[in-house]
């Protein structure tokens, strides 16, 4: 076994979009940088999450929208072309090859070491390569952990031998299971239930709680529930899984035992039961941290309880906002902060307000790509109540908009705006309905920019578009507030 040693200004463990952005910003500051990646460059988002899942969902949602359009609805009554959908998914996942990502790293002068990287002390990383060699990396300024998260599987009898699906198997599957049980009621669960039901599975959704998407405004989950039921999904609320058993070897059906004695049989079972940080085997114990824990960071994503200020944890691994776009946002801040602390900040950092990630406290945008779409940013009503924030809740029925009526016959949707009555700004927005994902950035600007309501009156929405909801929300607030 050979051992080599190299020294860089910055060592990044994890080559997903977050790690790539940290490395890009550090390199832009003139710092020598290396990425360590044990799987595929591009990470979960490119190959097993955002890209392939949205490729599966896009034809489903487009067909659902088309079926609501007079003159077009009859033309889209047939089933989806499954082979074409899966081929499109494969293209969007780059056929699970990362040569383009590796070429990009080379174009920005970031080095790559493939293998499993672990901390072995302050500013020290040991990499076990696929060939069994060891590469020892020393960081002059910073090590950034960008290892993301994986599915948090529950401790259930029989699960370890049942071969359950996680998001990885569900987004990469090459065939449609006849029966698919989905355990969970959050974003991953409802998106993949939507996709696979439309592709031909009979989906049973097993939800331990009393509704779907319970972290969002209640009407969001209610509207998604209505559409899933209409599509034929069997939704079972209050269903707690107690055991899982794969029958007749690895190819047999799965028997899922529920608390109370009921059973569900499926060809595959997908667990979408939350995420856990990938920190169990990255050497945290060598720097005084606990393996498997989420990492606590400041607003520059620097780990707060490691002496010397050299360790950063960026993206999902710090638990602040588990979405790719937020991780990339954090990465830009962290990379800029690393450059600034090394005395090598890019010239544009002051202009663009780098070195602090604050939007993931107050303005996290999220789209759920179901039918209907759900888009939200900022506080929900429940969060405002829990934190003691004084808000006025303003609701509007999207179906009343001419733009929505043009979009689809029988449009169903709803909008909610939370007005901070002390500041006169928007504290949160949730949209639910076909096509609302494209409304989200305007809401994000309003929340993150703390735009005063008196200025929002002068942001005139085009007619007839769904964005006219902004005017109607403001009018509703004016009328109800007196």
Tell me the pLDDT tens digit for each residue of 252-286: 999 999 999 999 999 999 999 999 999 999 999 99
Model confidence pLDDT, tens digit, residues 90-107: 999 999 999 999 999 999
Whether 244 has a pLDDT exceeding 50, the answer reads: yes
Give bridge partners of residue 205 from the DSSP assignment. 182, 235
Q: Please state, in angstroms and as integers, the Cα–Cα distance from residue 161 to each residue in 184, 236, 250, following that order.
A: 20, 25, 9
Q: Which residue from 452, 351, 439 is spatially nearest to 396, judged by alpha carbons?
A: 439
User: Model-level pTM?
Assistant: 0.94
Q: What domains sit in the chain, N to C, each tagged with a CATH number?
A: 3-42+98-150+277-360 (3.50.50.60), 159-273 (3.50.50.60), 372-481 (3.30.390.30)
**Is residue 326 very low, low, confident or very high in pLDDT (cuts 50, 70, 90)?**
very high
* 37: nearest Cα among 152, 167, 125: 125
**CB distance 178 to 46 below 8 Å:** no
Task: Please give the share of the chain, as a percent, with pLDDT higher than 70.
Answer: 97
* Interatomic CA distance for residues 380 and 377, integer angstroms: 8
Query: pLDDT at position 348, please?
Result: 54
Q: What is the pLDDT of residues 14-39, one digit of tens each?
A: 999 999 999 999 999 999 999 999 99
Enter the tokens of residue 30: 């003139």
Average pLDDT over residues 429-448: 97
SS3 state at 39: coil
Residue written as token pair 């401790």:
155
Distance from first CA to last CA of the chain, Å, rounded? 77
- Which conformational region is residue 56 in: left (phi greater than 0), alpha (psi within -120 to 50 degrees), or beta? alpha
**Minimal CA–CA distance to 473: which of 392, 381, 372, 380?**
392
User: How many whole angstroms separate alpha carbon 91 and alpha carbon 83?
Assistant: 12
Q: Using CA atoms, how far apart are residues 352 and 360, in angstroms rounded to an integer?
A: 17
Tell me the pLDDT tens digit for each residue of 166-179.
999 999 999 999 99
258 forms beta bridges with 241
């Amino acid at each position: 076994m050979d051992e080599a040693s190299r020294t860089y200004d910055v060592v990044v463990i994890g080559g997903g979009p977050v790690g790539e952005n940290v490395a890009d910003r550090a390199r832009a500051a003139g710092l020598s940088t290396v990425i360590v990646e044990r799987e595929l460059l591009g990470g979960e988002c490119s190959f097993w999450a955002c890209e392939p899942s949205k490729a599966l969902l896009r034809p489903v949602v487009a067909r659902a929208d088309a079926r609501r359009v007079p003159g077009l609805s009859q033309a889209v009554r047939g089933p989806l072309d499954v082979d074409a959908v899966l081929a499109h998914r494969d293209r969007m996942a780059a056929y699970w090859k990362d040569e383009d990502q590796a070429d990009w790293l080379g174009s920005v002068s970031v080095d790559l070491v493939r293998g499993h990287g672990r901390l072995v002390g302050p500013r020290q990383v040991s990499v076990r390569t696929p060939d069994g060699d060891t590469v020892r990396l020393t960081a002059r300024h910073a090590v950034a952990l960008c290892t993301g998260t994986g599915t948090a599987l529950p401790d259930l009898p029989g699960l370890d031998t049942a071969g359950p699906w996680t998001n990885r198997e569900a987004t990469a599957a090459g065939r449609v299971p006849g029966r698919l049980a989905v355990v969970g009621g959050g974003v991953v669960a409802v998106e993949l239930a939507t996709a696979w039901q439309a592709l031909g599975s009979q989906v049973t959704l097993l939800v331990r709680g009393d509704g779907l998407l319970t972290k969002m405004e209640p009407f969001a989950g209610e509207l998604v529930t209505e559409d899933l039921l209409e599509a034929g999904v069997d939704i079972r609320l209050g269903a707690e899984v107690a055991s899982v058993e794969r029958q007749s070897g690895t190819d047999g059906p799965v028997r899922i035992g529920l608390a109370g004695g009921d059973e569900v049989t499926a060809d595959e079972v997908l667990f979408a039961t939350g995420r856990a940080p990938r920190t169990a085997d990255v050497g945290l114990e060598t720097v005084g941290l606990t393996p498997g824990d989420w990492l606590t960071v400041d607003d520059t994503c620097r780990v707060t309880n490691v002496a010397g200020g050299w360790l950063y944890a960026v993206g999902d691994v710090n638990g602040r906002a588990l979405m790719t776009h937020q991780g990339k946002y954090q990465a830009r801040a962290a990379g800029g902060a690393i450059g600034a602390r090394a005395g090598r900040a890019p010239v544009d950092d002051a202009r663009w307000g780098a070195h602090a990630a604050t939007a993931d406290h107050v303005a996290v945008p999220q789209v759920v790509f179901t039918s209907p779409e759900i888009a939200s940013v900022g506080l929900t009503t429940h969060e405002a109540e829990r934190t003691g924030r004084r808000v006025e809740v303003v609701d509007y029925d999207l179906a009343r908009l001419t733009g929505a009526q043009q979009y689809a016959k029988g449009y169903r949707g709803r909008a909610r705006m939370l007005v901070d009555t002390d500041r006169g700004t928007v504290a949160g927005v949730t949209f639910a309905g076909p096509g609302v994902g494209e409304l989200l950035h305007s809401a994000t600007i309003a929340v993150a920019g703390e735009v005063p309501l008196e200025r929002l009156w002068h942001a005139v929405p085009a007619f007839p578009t769904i964005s006219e909801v902004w005017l109607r929300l403001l009018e509703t607030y004016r009328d109800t507030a007196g």
